[in-house]
Amino acid sequence: MKMMQKTSQLELLQALLQRPSVNGDERRVTEYLAEFLANHGITSELIELSPGRAGLVAEIGPQNRPVVALAAHADTVAVGEADNWQYPPFAATVANKRIYGRGAVDMKGGLAAMVCAVVALHEQESSLPVRVRLIVSTDEEVGGLGAAQLVATGHLKDVVAVVIGEATSGEVQYAHNGSFDYQVTSIGKLAHSSQPQLGVNAVMNLVQFINQEPTVFANAPVSEVLGPVIHSVTVFHGGEQLNSIPDQAYLQGNVRTIPEFDNEQTKAGFERLITQLNQQPGVNLSLSVVADFAPVVTAPTNPLVQQMQQAVAAVTGVQPPLAISNGATDASRYVIGNPALEVVIYGPGDEAQSHQVDESLPLDEYYQAIEIYQRFIMRL
Protein backbone atom coordinates (compact mmCIF):
# COMPACT_ATOMS: atom_id res chain seq x y z
CA MET A 1 0.00 0.00 0.00
CA LYS A 2 1.46 3.36 -1.02
CA MET A 3 2.34 5.78 1.72
CA MET A 4 4.21 9.03 2.29
CA GLN A 5 7.63 8.71 3.87
CA LYS A 6 7.52 8.79 7.67
CA THR A 7 9.67 11.92 7.71
CA SER A 8 7.05 13.74 5.64
CA GLN A 9 4.24 12.36 7.79
CA LEU A 10 5.96 13.62 10.92
CA GLU A 11 6.71 17.01 9.36
CA LEU A 12 3.03 17.49 8.58
CA LEU A 13 1.96 16.70 12.14
CA GLN A 14 4.65 18.99 13.55
CA ALA A 15 3.57 21.79 11.23
CA LEU A 16 -0.01 21.51 12.42
CA LEU A 17 0.99 21.50 16.09
CA GLN A 18 3.29 24.48 15.58
CA ARG A 19 0.36 26.52 14.25
CA PRO A 20 -1.84 27.43 17.24
CA SER A 21 -5.52 26.96 16.43
CA VAL A 22 -7.26 27.48 19.75
CA ASN A 23 -10.99 27.64 19.11
CA GLY A 24 -11.76 30.82 17.19
CA ASP A 25 -8.44 30.97 15.31
CA GLU A 26 -8.37 27.93 13.02
CA ARG A 27 -7.67 29.46 9.62
CA ARG A 28 -3.88 29.23 9.79
CA VAL A 29 -4.18 25.43 10.02
CA THR A 30 -6.68 25.00 7.19
CA GLU A 31 -4.77 27.42 4.94
CA TYR A 32 -1.63 25.39 5.54
CA LEU A 33 -3.49 22.18 4.71
CA ALA A 34 -4.84 23.72 1.49
CA GLU A 35 -1.28 24.54 0.43
CA PHE A 36 -0.03 21.10 1.50
CA LEU A 37 -2.73 19.34 -0.49
CA ALA A 38 -2.12 21.55 -3.53
CA ASN A 39 1.55 20.56 -3.44
CA HIS A 40 0.36 16.96 -3.81
CA GLY A 41 -1.98 17.72 -6.67
CA ILE A 42 -5.20 17.83 -4.63
CA THR A 43 -7.60 20.74 -4.95
CA SER A 44 -9.39 21.90 -1.83
CA GLU A 45 -11.91 24.54 -0.82
CA LEU A 46 -11.75 26.76 2.25
CA ILE A 47 -15.17 27.23 3.87
CA GLU A 48 -15.05 30.52 5.76
CA LEU A 49 -17.04 30.67 8.98
CA SER A 50 -15.94 34.14 10.11
CA PRO A 51 -12.72 36.21 10.03
CA GLY A 52 -9.86 33.97 11.13
CA ARG A 53 -11.98 30.84 10.88
CA ALA A 54 -12.27 28.52 7.90
CA GLY A 55 -12.97 24.83 7.41
CA LEU A 56 -11.67 22.82 4.47
CA VAL A 57 -13.11 20.29 2.04
CA ALA A 58 -11.17 18.22 -0.52
CA GLU A 59 -12.13 15.23 -2.69
CA ILE A 60 -10.36 12.43 -4.50
CA GLY A 61 -11.55 9.34 -6.31
CA PRO A 62 -13.77 8.50 -9.27
CA GLN A 63 -16.93 10.48 -9.86
CA ASN A 64 -20.32 8.77 -9.56
CA ARG A 65 -19.23 6.45 -6.76
CA PRO A 66 -20.51 6.50 -3.18
CA VAL A 67 -18.97 9.29 -1.10
CA VAL A 68 -17.22 8.36 2.14
CA ALA A 69 -15.95 11.17 4.34
CA LEU A 70 -12.86 11.30 6.52
CA ALA A 71 -13.72 13.99 9.06
CA ALA A 72 -11.63 15.91 11.59
CA HIS A 73 -11.60 19.32 13.24
CA ALA A 74 -8.90 21.99 13.21
CA ASP A 75 -9.55 23.72 16.54
CA THR A 76 -8.12 22.89 19.95
CA VAL A 77 -8.86 23.92 23.51
CA ALA A 78 -6.73 26.55 25.20
CA VAL A 79 -3.31 25.80 26.67
CA GLY A 80 -4.02 26.95 30.19
CA GLU A 81 -0.93 28.00 32.13
CA ALA A 82 1.97 27.46 29.70
CA ASP A 83 4.51 27.35 32.54
CA ASN A 84 2.93 24.08 33.70
CA TRP A 85 4.00 22.36 30.48
CA GLN A 86 7.26 20.43 30.48
CA TYR A 87 7.29 20.63 26.70
CA PRO A 88 6.19 23.96 25.12
CA PRO A 89 2.61 23.50 23.87
CA PHE A 90 3.35 24.69 20.33
CA ALA A 91 6.87 23.33 19.84
CA ALA A 92 5.79 19.87 18.60
CA THR A 93 8.60 18.28 20.59
CA VAL A 94 9.44 14.65 19.84
CA ALA A 95 10.66 12.73 22.89
CA ASN A 96 10.19 9.22 24.28
CA LYS A 97 8.73 8.08 20.93
CA ARG A 98 5.88 10.55 21.41
CA ILE A 99 5.03 13.96 20.05
CA TYR A 100 3.99 16.64 22.52
CA GLY A 101 1.78 19.65 21.94
CA ARG A 102 -1.68 21.12 22.30
CA GLY A 103 -3.91 19.17 19.95
CA ALA A 104 -1.58 16.19 19.52
CA VAL A 105 -4.44 13.89 20.51
CA ASP A 106 -7.48 16.16 20.17
CA MET A 107 -7.22 16.02 17.30
CA LYS A 108 -4.37 17.07 15.06
CA GLY A 109 -2.98 13.53 15.21
CA GLY A 110 -6.16 12.18 13.63
CA LEU A 111 -6.36 15.14 11.25
CA ALA A 112 -2.80 14.73 10.00
CA ALA A 113 -3.27 10.95 9.65
CA MET A 114 -6.35 11.48 7.50
CA VAL A 115 -4.56 14.04 5.31
CA CYS A 116 -1.60 11.68 4.83
CA ALA A 117 -3.99 8.86 3.95
CA VAL A 118 -5.76 11.03 1.37
CA VAL A 119 -2.44 11.99 -0.23
CA ALA A 120 -1.42 8.32 -0.46
CA LEU A 121 -4.82 7.27 -1.81
CA HIS A 122 -4.64 10.01 -4.42
CA GLU A 123 -1.71 8.17 -6.02
CA GLN A 124 -4.04 5.25 -6.78
CA GLU A 125 -7.14 7.34 -7.37
CA SER A 126 -8.52 5.43 -10.33
CA SER A 127 -8.69 2.19 -8.33
CA LEU A 128 -10.52 3.64 -5.32
CA PRO A 129 -13.83 1.85 -4.65
CA VAL A 130 -15.41 5.07 -3.34
CA ARG A 131 -15.03 8.81 -3.66
CA VAL A 132 -13.24 10.15 -0.58
CA ARG A 133 -14.14 13.53 0.85
CA LEU A 134 -11.81 15.05 3.44
CA ILE A 135 -13.80 17.32 5.76
CA VAL A 136 -12.08 19.61 8.28
CA SER A 137 -14.38 21.61 10.54
CA THR A 138 -13.97 24.55 12.89
CA ASP A 139 -15.48 25.22 16.32
CA GLU A 140 -15.87 21.56 17.34
CA GLU A 141 -14.61 22.27 20.86
CA VAL A 142 -17.30 24.85 21.63
CA GLY A 143 -20.53 24.98 19.66
CA GLY A 144 -20.06 22.89 16.51
CA LEU A 145 -20.71 25.90 14.27
CA GLY A 146 -18.24 24.71 11.66
CA ALA A 147 -19.91 21.32 11.30
CA ALA A 148 -23.33 22.97 11.16
CA GLN A 149 -22.06 25.25 8.41
CA LEU A 150 -20.77 22.30 6.39
CA VAL A 151 -24.21 20.70 6.67
CA ALA A 152 -25.88 23.95 5.59
CA THR A 153 -23.59 24.26 2.55
CA GLY A 154 -24.50 20.75 1.43
CA HIS A 155 -21.14 19.07 1.96
CA LEU A 156 -22.75 16.13 3.81
CA LYS A 157 -25.94 15.56 1.82
CA ASP A 158 -24.44 12.95 -0.54
CA VAL A 159 -22.14 11.27 2.01
CA VAL A 160 -23.14 7.67 2.79
CA ALA A 161 -20.63 7.07 5.58
CA VAL A 162 -18.21 9.10 7.67
CA VAL A 163 -15.14 8.22 9.71
CA ILE A 164 -14.55 10.59 12.63
CA GLY A 165 -10.85 10.70 13.50
CA GLU A 166 -11.14 11.49 17.21
CA ALA A 167 -8.82 9.58 19.52
CA THR A 168 -10.45 6.34 20.67
CA SER A 169 -7.81 4.70 22.90
CA GLY A 170 -7.50 1.73 20.57
CA GLU A 171 -11.24 1.13 20.35
CA VAL A 172 -13.50 1.28 17.34
CA GLN A 173 -16.52 3.30 18.46
CA TYR A 174 -19.91 3.00 16.82
CA ALA A 175 -22.10 5.24 18.99
CA HIS A 176 -21.93 8.23 21.28
CA ASN A 177 -24.26 10.30 23.40
CA GLY A 178 -25.65 13.59 22.32
CA SER A 179 -24.83 16.69 24.32
CA PHE A 180 -27.35 19.34 25.36
CA ASP A 181 -25.80 22.39 27.04
CA TYR A 182 -28.23 24.86 28.58
CA GLN A 183 -28.60 27.89 30.80
CA VAL A 184 -31.46 28.78 33.10
CA THR A 185 -31.69 32.45 34.08
CA SER A 186 -33.61 33.72 37.09
CA ILE A 187 -34.79 37.34 37.31
CA GLY A 188 -35.80 38.72 40.71
CA LYS A 189 -36.03 42.08 42.43
CA LEU A 190 -33.26 43.88 44.28
CA ALA A 191 -33.77 44.77 47.94
CA HIS A 192 -31.78 45.28 51.12
CA SER A 193 -31.14 42.02 52.95
CA SER A 194 -32.70 43.52 56.09
CA GLN A 195 -36.02 43.73 54.24
CA PRO A 196 -36.11 40.66 51.99
CA GLN A 197 -39.90 40.86 51.72
CA LEU A 198 -39.45 43.93 49.49
CA GLY A 199 -37.44 41.98 46.93
CA VAL A 200 -37.53 38.74 44.97
CA ASN A 201 -34.61 36.41 45.59
CA ALA A 202 -33.40 35.19 42.18
CA VAL A 203 -31.01 32.69 43.80
CA MET A 204 -33.67 30.95 45.86
CA ASN A 205 -35.97 30.72 42.84
CA LEU A 206 -33.17 29.12 40.86
CA VAL A 207 -32.62 26.62 43.67
CA GLN A 208 -36.14 25.37 43.02
CA PHE A 209 -35.10 24.43 39.50
CA ILE A 210 -32.01 22.61 40.78
CA ASN A 211 -34.05 20.62 43.26
CA GLN A 212 -36.55 19.52 40.62
CA GLU A 213 -34.19 19.08 37.65
CA PRO A 214 -33.87 15.29 38.26
CA THR A 215 -37.64 14.87 37.84
CA VAL A 216 -37.31 15.72 34.13
CA PHE A 217 -35.45 12.44 33.65
CA ALA A 218 -37.21 10.33 36.27
CA ASN A 219 -39.12 8.25 33.71
CA ALA A 220 -36.65 8.48 30.84
CA PRO A 221 -36.00 5.14 29.12
CA VAL A 222 -32.57 3.54 29.12
CA SER A 223 -30.86 3.02 25.79
CA GLU A 224 -29.78 -0.54 25.05
CA VAL A 225 -26.65 0.90 23.44
CA LEU A 226 -25.80 4.07 25.39
CA GLY A 227 -27.40 3.42 28.76
CA PRO A 228 -29.25 6.09 30.78
CA VAL A 229 -29.41 9.83 30.21
CA ILE A 230 -26.54 11.51 32.08
CA HIS A 231 -27.42 14.96 33.46
CA SER A 232 -25.58 17.44 35.64
CA VAL A 233 -25.89 21.05 36.79
CA THR A 234 -22.32 22.29 36.47
CA VAL A 235 -22.31 26.09 36.94
CA PHE A 236 -24.18 28.30 39.42
CA HIS A 237 -23.85 32.04 39.78
CA GLY A 238 -26.01 34.47 41.73
CA GLY A 239 -25.78 37.62 43.74
CA GLU A 240 -23.24 40.43 43.75
CA GLN A 241 -23.31 41.84 47.27
CA LEU A 242 -23.55 40.22 50.67
CA ASN A 243 -26.26 42.49 52.04
CA SER A 244 -28.49 42.67 48.96
CA ILE A 245 -31.25 40.35 47.84
CA PRO A 246 -30.01 39.13 44.42
CA ASP A 247 -32.08 40.20 41.44
CA GLN A 248 -30.29 37.96 38.93
CA ALA A 249 -28.88 34.43 38.94
CA TYR A 250 -28.14 31.75 36.42
CA LEU A 251 -27.07 28.16 36.23
CA GLN A 252 -25.67 26.04 33.43
CA GLY A 253 -25.86 22.33 32.90
CA ASN A 254 -25.08 19.51 30.52
CA VAL A 255 -27.18 16.53 29.49
CA ARG A 256 -25.72 13.53 27.65
CA THR A 257 -28.71 12.46 25.62
CA ILE A 258 -29.73 9.17 24.02
CA PRO A 259 -31.95 8.46 20.98
CA GLU A 260 -34.72 7.23 23.27
CA PHE A 261 -34.69 10.56 25.16
CA ASP A 262 -33.10 13.01 22.80
CA ASN A 263 -32.28 16.71 22.79
CA GLU A 264 -35.78 17.84 21.81
CA GLN A 265 -37.33 15.78 24.60
CA THR A 266 -34.79 17.17 27.04
CA LYS A 267 -35.57 20.74 26.01
CA ALA A 268 -39.30 20.11 26.23
CA GLY A 269 -38.91 18.62 29.71
CA PHE A 270 -37.00 21.64 30.98
CA GLU A 271 -39.54 24.00 29.43
CA ARG A 272 -42.41 22.18 31.16
CA LEU A 273 -40.62 22.40 34.49
CA ILE A 274 -39.89 26.10 34.06
CA THR A 275 -43.48 26.82 33.06
CA GLN A 276 -44.67 25.03 36.21
CA LEU A 277 -42.25 26.93 38.45
CA ASN A 278 -43.10 30.28 36.87
CA GLN A 279 -46.69 29.89 38.05
CA GLN A 280 -45.49 30.68 41.56
CA PRO A 281 -45.53 34.36 42.63
CA GLY A 282 -42.26 36.12 41.88
CA VAL A 283 -40.62 33.26 39.98
CA ASN A 284 -39.26 34.30 36.57
CA LEU A 285 -37.08 31.62 35.01
CA SER A 286 -36.09 31.24 31.34
CA LEU A 287 -34.22 28.60 29.36
CA SER A 288 -31.61 29.13 26.64
CA VAL A 289 -29.73 26.48 24.67
CA VAL A 290 -25.96 26.91 24.62
CA ALA A 291 -25.02 23.94 22.41
CA ASP A 292 -27.00 21.11 20.88
CA PHE A 293 -25.41 17.85 19.65
CA ALA A 294 -27.56 14.88 18.68
CA PRO A 295 -26.82 11.29 19.80
CA VAL A 296 -25.27 9.07 17.14
CA VAL A 297 -25.78 5.30 16.89
CA THR A 298 -24.58 2.90 14.20
CA ALA A 299 -25.11 -0.80 14.87
CA PRO A 300 -21.93 -2.69 15.87
CA THR A 301 -22.83 -5.25 13.20
CA ASN A 302 -22.85 -2.59 10.50
CA PRO A 303 -20.36 -3.43 7.69
CA LEU A 304 -18.74 -0.02 8.11
CA VAL A 305 -17.91 -0.77 11.74
CA GLN A 306 -16.75 -4.29 10.92
CA GLN A 307 -14.50 -3.01 8.11
CA MET A 308 -12.83 -0.54 10.46
CA GLN A 309 -12.32 -3.22 13.10
CA GLN A 310 -10.70 -5.47 10.50
CA ALA A 311 -8.46 -2.67 9.23
CA VAL A 312 -7.23 -1.86 12.74
CA ALA A 313 -6.56 -5.54 13.47
CA ALA A 314 -4.67 -6.01 10.20
CA VAL A 315 -2.35 -3.06 10.86
CA THR A 316 -1.83 -3.33 14.64
CA GLY A 317 -2.09 -7.09 15.06
CA VAL A 318 -4.61 -6.52 17.87
CA GLN A 319 -8.36 -7.03 17.57
CA PRO A 320 -9.80 -3.70 18.77
CA PRO A 321 -12.86 -3.77 20.99
CA LEU A 322 -16.09 -2.25 19.73
CA ALA A 323 -17.27 0.42 22.12
CA ILE A 324 -19.42 3.47 22.72
CA SER A 325 -18.45 6.92 23.99
CA ASN A 326 -20.23 9.29 26.33
CA GLY A 327 -18.60 12.21 24.55
CA ALA A 328 -19.84 13.95 21.40
CA THR A 329 -18.33 14.61 17.98
CA ASP A 330 -19.09 16.57 14.83
CA ALA A 331 -21.11 13.53 13.72
CA SER A 332 -23.90 14.92 15.91
CA ARG A 333 -24.25 17.76 13.42
CA TYR A 334 -23.65 15.64 10.35
CA VAL A 335 -26.47 13.20 11.09
CA ILE A 336 -28.94 16.07 11.48
CA GLY A 337 -28.30 17.00 7.87
CA ASN A 338 -28.19 13.37 6.75
CA PRO A 339 -30.20 11.02 9.04
CA ALA A 340 -29.20 7.89 7.06
CA LEU A 341 -25.49 8.63 7.53
CA GLU A 342 -23.45 5.72 8.89
CA VAL A 343 -20.76 6.71 11.39
CA VAL A 344 -17.67 5.03 12.80
CA ILE A 345 -15.14 6.68 15.08
CA TYR A 346 -11.48 5.74 15.14
CA GLY A 347 -8.35 7.79 15.69
CA PRO A 348 -4.88 7.60 17.20
CA GLY A 349 -4.20 8.44 20.82
CA ASP A 350 -5.54 7.96 24.32
CA GLU A 351 -8.76 9.91 24.91
CA ALA A 352 -7.58 10.66 28.46
CA GLN A 353 -4.78 12.81 27.00
CA SER A 354 -7.28 15.23 25.46
CA HIS A 355 -7.15 18.75 26.93
CA GLN A 356 -4.32 17.76 29.28
CA VAL A 357 -1.07 19.55 30.11
CA ASP A 358 1.74 17.95 28.06
CA GLU A 359 -0.80 16.35 25.74
CA SER A 360 1.06 13.73 23.73
CA LEU A 361 0.59 11.08 21.06
CA PRO A 362 2.69 7.92 20.51
CA LEU A 363 4.20 8.23 17.04
CA ASP A 364 3.63 4.54 16.30
CA GLU A 365 -0.12 5.04 16.74
CA TYR A 366 -0.02 8.01 14.38
CA TYR A 367 1.80 6.10 11.64
CA GLN A 368 -0.52 3.13 12.10
CA ALA A 369 -3.62 5.31 11.78
CA ILE A 370 -2.45 6.52 8.37
CA GLU A 371 -2.23 2.95 7.13
CA ILE A 372 -5.52 1.99 8.81
CA TYR A 373 -7.44 4.74 7.04
CA GLN A 374 -5.97 3.69 3.68
CA ARG A 375 -6.73 0.03 4.23
CA PHE A 376 -10.26 0.86 5.36
CA ILE A 377 -10.98 2.88 2.20
CA MET A 378 -9.46 0.38 -0.19
CA ARG A 379 -11.51 -2.51 1.24
CA LEU A 380 -14.89 -0.77 1.21
Topology given in CATH for the domain delimited by 6-176+295-378: Aminopeptidase (3.40.630)
pLDDT top residue among 220 and 326: 220
Number of residues assigned to the chain: 380
What are the extents of the domains in the chain?
6-176+295-378, 178-293
Overall fold of domain 178-293? Alpha-Beta Plaits (3.30.70)
Q: What is the pLDDT of residues 303-346, one digit of tens each?
A: 999 999 999 999 999 999 999 998 889 999 999 879 899 999 99
pLDDT given at position 327: 84
Numbers of helices and strands, H then E, in the chain: 9, 18
Instruction: Please measure the distance between the N-terminal and C-terminal CA atoms of the chain and give it in whole angstroms.
Output: 15
- Global confidence as pTM: 0.89
Q: Is 117 exposed, middle or buried (0-12, 13-18, 19+ CB in 10 A)?
A: buried
Band the pLDDT of 158: cuts 50, 70, 90.
very high
**C-alpha span between 173 and 231 (Å, rounded):** 22
CB 130 within 8 A of CB 68: yes
Q: Is residue 139 a contact partner of residue 126, using CB atoms and an 8 Å limit?
A: no
| Distances, alpha carbon 195 to alpha carbons 189, 192, 206, 275, 295, in Å | 12, 5, 20, 28, 48
Q: Per-residue pLDDT tens for 250-306?
A: 999 999 999 999 999 999 999 999 999 999 999 999 999 998 899 999 999 999 999
pLDDT tens-digit profile of 349-373?
Answer: 999 999 999 999 999 999 999 999 9
Name the strand (E) or helix (H) holding 360.
strand 360-362
